[in-house]
């Protein structure tokens, strides 16, 4: 079975390490200290990695070998109870090239929290080391005023909640603030900046669901309840595409052992075309062999974009409809806030009706 780490509680130590991007520049540096204080006020001790404020890497916080060494040490240290990633990034694939996931199978399971580039660590931990991980906010995400999404992330670390719902509104980055006009941006002193404010959500969440019983994607009636049950697996599609066919691609063996998988995917920089190629690549590699359904987050770059007829909907539906399983799109997952934190590798039941999505962990 895919192992679940021990939950944490006030008094435990959370390690912060930077396997890809770290808070070495503003506003992330100031956000880190705000977030650290909030966690300390909740009762947690913080162990800072030496990589945290390094800035000597190329496209990455520091030398990937150094980052991998610290990440592995943090995971194995008995005095660190959980790990929260310092940030997302671009080149964590170079870090995991120096991580032995097969050896980590022998280590005591430990919660790892992060998203985006952190897919590079969470996905192999599930599919190779067989340990659950939390796809959710990195440390800077805890600098803002804690609302339901932040409390949900902590409830997963602390084991105090088993059912999670989608959120009513989201922050659409493509809606411009008409009041801003052409005013020049004033320099910001982030050391005195108030990060402790809620997001100003500007759009009501709308799920777009498809039933594929006929091997074609048919938009579901809002009154139709859609259900699926299986192991949550996935992350950032930008990252997963690069893992296909590498030594970190253990999906053939994973599919032999685990038969029901709910794929949870989101995209960051992919255009509608590159997004479609990515989903095709994963399908052709056999990754979706045991798919029971798909839960797809709002993609950042491709959201409501169109290229020669390709959009962020058919990038998925046209490629996987032939699998005959439900597809839920525009869910609260990924780079467009807010984000439902998810336990990758956990057994869960997903129910959707209209714009309501509920994820219940069953084991």
pLDDT one-digit tens code per residue, 23-37: 999 999 999 999 999
Has residue 159 got a pLDDT over 60?
yes
179: confidence class by pLDDT, cuts 50, 70, 90: low
Q: What are the residues whose beta carbons fall under 8 Å from the beta carbon of 240, sequence distance 6 or more?
A: 119, 123, 234, 265, 278, 282
Has residue 252 got a pLDDT over 60?
yes
pLDDT digits (tens, 9 = 90+) for 102-141: 999 999 999 999 999 999 999 999 999 999 999 999 999 9
Is there a single domain that holds both residue 145 and residue 251? no
Structure tokens that stand for 260 in this block: 């029901």
Q: Is residue 246 part of a domain?
A: yes
Q: How far apart are CA 13 and CA 60, in angstroms?
A: 26
Q: How many domains does the chain fold into?
A: 2
Q: How far apart are CA 278 and CA 118, in angstroms?
A: 18
Q: How far apart are CA 344 and CA 348, in angstroms?
A: 10
Mean of pLDDT values over 290-308 = 95
Is there a single domain that holds both residue 17 and residue 119? yes
pLDDT value, residue 181: 53
8 A C-beta contact, residue 205 and residue 167: yes
Cα distances (Å, whole numbers) of residue 109 to 82, 147, 362? 9, 28, 19
pLDDT value, residue 170: 95
Has residue 176 got a pLDDT over 80?
no
Is there a single domain that holds both residue 37 and residue 142? yes
Is there a single domain that holds both residue 204 and residue 334? yes
127 CB neighbour count, 10 Å cutoff: 24
State the residue range of the domain holding 334: 196-361
Is there a single domain that holds both residue 50 and residue 107? yes
Average pLDDT, the chain: 95
Is there a single domain that holds both residue 207 and residue 346? yes
Is there a single domain that holds both residue 223 and residue 345? yes
8 A C-beta contact, residue 84 and residue 53: no
190: confidence class by pLDDT, cuts 50, 70, 90: confident
CATH number of residue 340's parent domain: 3.50.30.60
Q: How far apart are CA 185 and CA 326, in angstroms?
A: 45
pLDDT value, residue 173: 86
Has residue 164 got a pLDDT over 90?
yes
Cα distances (Å, whole numbers) of residue 280 to 35, 207, 316? 39, 23, 8
Instruction: Name the pairing type of β-strands 261-266 and 225-236.
Output: parallel
pLDDT value, residue 105: 94
pLDDT digits (tens, 9 = 90+) for 311-358: 999 999 999 999 999 999 999 999 999 999 999 999 999 999 999 999
CATH number of residue 57's parent domain: 3.40.50.10740
Is there a single domain that holds both residue 340 and residue 291? yes
pLDDT value, residue 192: 87
pLDDT value, residue 185: 65
Cα distances (Å, whole numbers) of residue 50 to 47, 70, 121, 337? 10, 8, 19, 30
Is there a single domain that holds both residue 88 and residue 154? yes
Has residue 298 got a pLDDT over 80?
yes
Is there a single domain that holds both residue 137 and residue 67? yes
Is there a single domain that holds both residue 219 and residue 302? yes
Has residue 177 got a pLDDT over 60?
no
């Amino acid at each position: 079975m895919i192992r679940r780490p021990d939950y944490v509680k006030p008094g435990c130590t959370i390690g912060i390490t930077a396997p890809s991007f770290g808070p070495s520049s503003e506003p992330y540096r100031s956000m880190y200290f705000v977030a650290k204080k909030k966690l300390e006020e909740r009762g947690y001790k913080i162990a800072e990695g030496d990589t945290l404020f390094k800035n000597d890497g190329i496209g990455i916080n520091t030398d990937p070998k150094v980052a991998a060494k610290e990440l592995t040490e943090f995971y194995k240290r008995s005095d660190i109870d959980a790990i929260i990633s310092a940030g997302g990034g671009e080149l964590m694939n170079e870090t995991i090239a120096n991580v032995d996931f097969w050896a980590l199978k022998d280590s005591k399971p430990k919660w790892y929290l992060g998203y985006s580039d952190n897919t590079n660590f969470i996905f192999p931990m599930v599919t190779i080391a067989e340990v659950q991980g939390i796809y959710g906010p990195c440390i800077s995400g805890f600098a803002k005023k804690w609302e339901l999404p932040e409390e949900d992330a902590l409830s997963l670390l602390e084991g105090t909640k088993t059912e999670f719902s989608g959120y009513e509104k989201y922050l659409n980055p493509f809606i411009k603030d008409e009041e801003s006009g052409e005013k020049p941006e004033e320099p910001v002193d982030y050391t005195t900046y108030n990060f402790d404010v809620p997001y100003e959500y500007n759009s009501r969440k709308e799920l777009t669901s498809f039933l594929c019983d006929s091997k074609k994607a048919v938009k579901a009636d809002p009154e139709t309840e859609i259900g699926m049950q299986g192991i949550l697996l996935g992350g950032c599609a930008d990252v997963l595409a690069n893992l296909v066919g590498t030594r970190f691609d253990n999906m053939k063996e994973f599919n032999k052992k685990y038969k029901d998988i709910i794929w949870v995917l989101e995209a960051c920089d992919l255009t509608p075309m590159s997004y479609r190629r990515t989903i095709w690549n994963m399908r052709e590699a056999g990754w979706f062999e045991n798919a029971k359904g798909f839960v797809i987050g709002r993609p950042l770059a491709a959201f409501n974009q169109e290229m020669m007829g390709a959009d962020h909907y058919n990038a998925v539906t046209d490629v996987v409809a032939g699998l005959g399983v439900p597809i839920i799109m525009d869910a609260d997952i990924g780079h467009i806030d807010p984000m439902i934190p998810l336990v990758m590798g956990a057994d869960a039941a997903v129910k959707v009706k209209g714009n309501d999505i509920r994820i219940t962990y069953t084991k």
